[in-house]
Amino acid sequence: MAKLLHSTPRLHTIHRRSFHLLSTLSPPPLPSSSAIFFPSPSNILSPPPSFSLSISPTPCNNSLSFSLRLSPTPRRNFSTQAFDSDPNSNSDSGVKLKVEEKVGGDTSNGAPKSEESFPSGEFEFKEFGIWKSFVVKCRMLIAFPWQRVKKGSVLTMKLRGQVSDQLKSRFSQGLSLPQLCENFIKAAYDPRISGVYLHIEPLNCGWGKVEEIRRHILDFRKSGKFVVGYVPVCGEKEYYLACACEEVYAPPSAYFRLYGLTVQASFLGGIFEKVGIEPQVERIGKFKSAGDQLVRKSISEENREMLTTLLDNIYGNWLDKISAAKGKSRDDVEKFINEGVYQIQRLKEEGWITNINYDDEVISMLKERLGLEKEKKLPMVDYRRYSGVKKWTLGLSGGKERIAVIRASGSISRVRGPLSSPSSGIVAEQLIEKIRSVRESKRYKAAIIRIDSPGGDALASDLMWREIQLLAAEKPVIASMADVAASGGYYMAMGAAAIVAENLTLTGSIGVVTGKFNLGKLYEKIGFNKETISRGKFAELTAAEQRPFRPEEAELFAKSAQYAYTQFRDKAAQSRSMPVDKMEENAQGRVWTGNDAASRGLVDAIGGMDRAVAIAKQRANIPQDLPVTLVEMTKPSPSLPEVLSGIGSTLVGVDRTLKVLLQELTSVEGIQARMDGIIFEKLDETSYGNPIINMLKDYLGSL
């Protein structure tokens, strides 16, 4: 699948690329908003604890903007020795991998004195010439019947439910962000499309994807065609998209809930105390909410400070964008929200919506706008059918130069688990094959690693990071973040030459929480006993859940947690050319919004996929006004063979699947990095919760 983008060479300021590593203990089963990691059966039997990197996504944003003058910057070479677990050791391979990267000036004070300038990648609509328009018309005549669209049609798309960052096949349901954005681009140039009619209903995606969709709505409007929104059920996120439309309509009985935003933190300390479970937690990082969740009964001051800042940033960004779109002052918008307005008539009177109409009435108005008679049917083409229209037909197939796009979405695992569908999550061994194929091929001038992941297995993340580093040594690699790219997802991004994040992307949380559960009192209550025979002083460190740590075990556990945190923090500081004490200020398990992360040097540039493409073109010495072909390395999923495979596995493997499920639910070990127990209401309904439940949903959803 290829994608053509026209971009302008306008420049914006960026910040230098960053790196962070995280690690923390997975808690017991939590509400659906919490993220839980369960090791595979093979890991359950392994004596050493497995390391994992993950975080619950709650993408957020503030309204910070910045612009600084630039000065010429030198090139600096980084070696893989900078990322060795032992700072004094050499690389195991004995080979230094060097990746050239432009960086800012001296950072001895922890902040760049000068910044590198990257192109914005802003979309610019360009009218086709007479000859190209003729060629496009000829291609439309020879297109397959299912790719043909009636002239004067309106593209209708229902924006609701989950929005995946992966490509979708004809056998799958739900929206695909890359296909959705591509439809806007195709419709802008398609002479058969008169405008777009959007049905906007409750969304189940992060704010990063919402920002990307909103940007493409505004880009489409540059073509001069209309965009009309229809919102029967509307919250803050839905209105954030609707206000980008030219007109917004709602039925008389519409549900408008523009009441504000909230954040919640859950605590299990009281529950554990009542049932006889003692969490023995070693937390490194005062902002690590996962540790608080397990042992506390109320929120800590540090956690309250972090969540308050995140909420203020998100709410502030929403107020700023809405006030700018509606031509109102920020104070007026906030006052309106605080009045708790729900009457549709008042929303119309105060200019929040264009008018009050039912869907059929809006369609009648569209027919009148297009000059159609009332008795005639409005020609419409829906999202799924229009996704099948080839860009080649519209003269948007791209240029000679190719850029590979490698998408990585979901939780990270080293190998595919028994409960996962063939396309669920990030499987390191599969992604590594794609990375190697791009590195070995001479067809691609650059590569973009598109990451939408809360993290996962640390070993898998490190293996993928290594392959990305090898790829970056051969050709430019740009990391583009969607809703969330934290922990293991951020680990992957560190292999790239530059990191691009949405201003609503979630990142940070550089901290460590580890521990185990003492189930002795619970076992006593239910009459269960467990005896352990071991050899080795610390053999029962994580195996003996029926008793608390012995003093020497507690000391070893604390030292290992501190060592893990020190290694993660120091590697992050090394990768950012930042003093350790400065990185310590950005670490401590704190979560940052995209803009805050950029201002602290944790990411390089604020923007979406278009800006990542522009930066990749710049690094590959491709002129900004020259179209390129984006080659998707990840096939749409689930495919028909995967669907059939899932049916067969379901029919013959139910008993085995349930046994494995029970086994995984009762065994949790290792170090995790999460933001458990935090619920951002109306901010992000994306479910990166219990991976077992998610895998079952993915598995059954493919049937």
The catalytic residue positions are 487
Which residue bears the tokens 């073109």?
Answer: 617
Identity of the residue numbered 138: C
> How many Cβ atoms are within 10 Å of 144's Cβ, its own excluded?
10
- What is the rounded CA–CA span in Å between residue 545 and residue 536? 17
Which residues is 406 bridged to in the sheet?
Answer: 449
- What is the rounded CA–CA span in Å between residue 633 and residue 404? 7
> How many Cβ atoms are within 10 Å of 367's Cβ, its own excluded?
18
Which secondary-structure segment (H or E) carries 201? strand 193-204
The SS3 assignment for 275 reads helix
Distances (CA, A) of 574 to 571, 579, 590, 636, 684: 5, 8, 19, 37, 33
* Alpha carbon 357 to its chain's center: 35
The SS3 assignment for 540 reads coil
- What six digits make up the tokens of 242? 């609707």
- What is the rounded CA–CA span in Å between residue 240 and residue 352? 11
- What is the rounded CA–CA span in Å between residue 40 and residue 319? 44
Which secondary-structure segment (H or E) carries 584? helix 580-586
377: CB partners within 8 A, 6+ apart: none
- Which residue in 222, 218, 242, 219 sits closest to 230, CA to CA? 242
DSSP class of 402? E
* Alpha carbon 266 to its chain's center: 23
- What six digits make up the tokens of 75? 């090139």
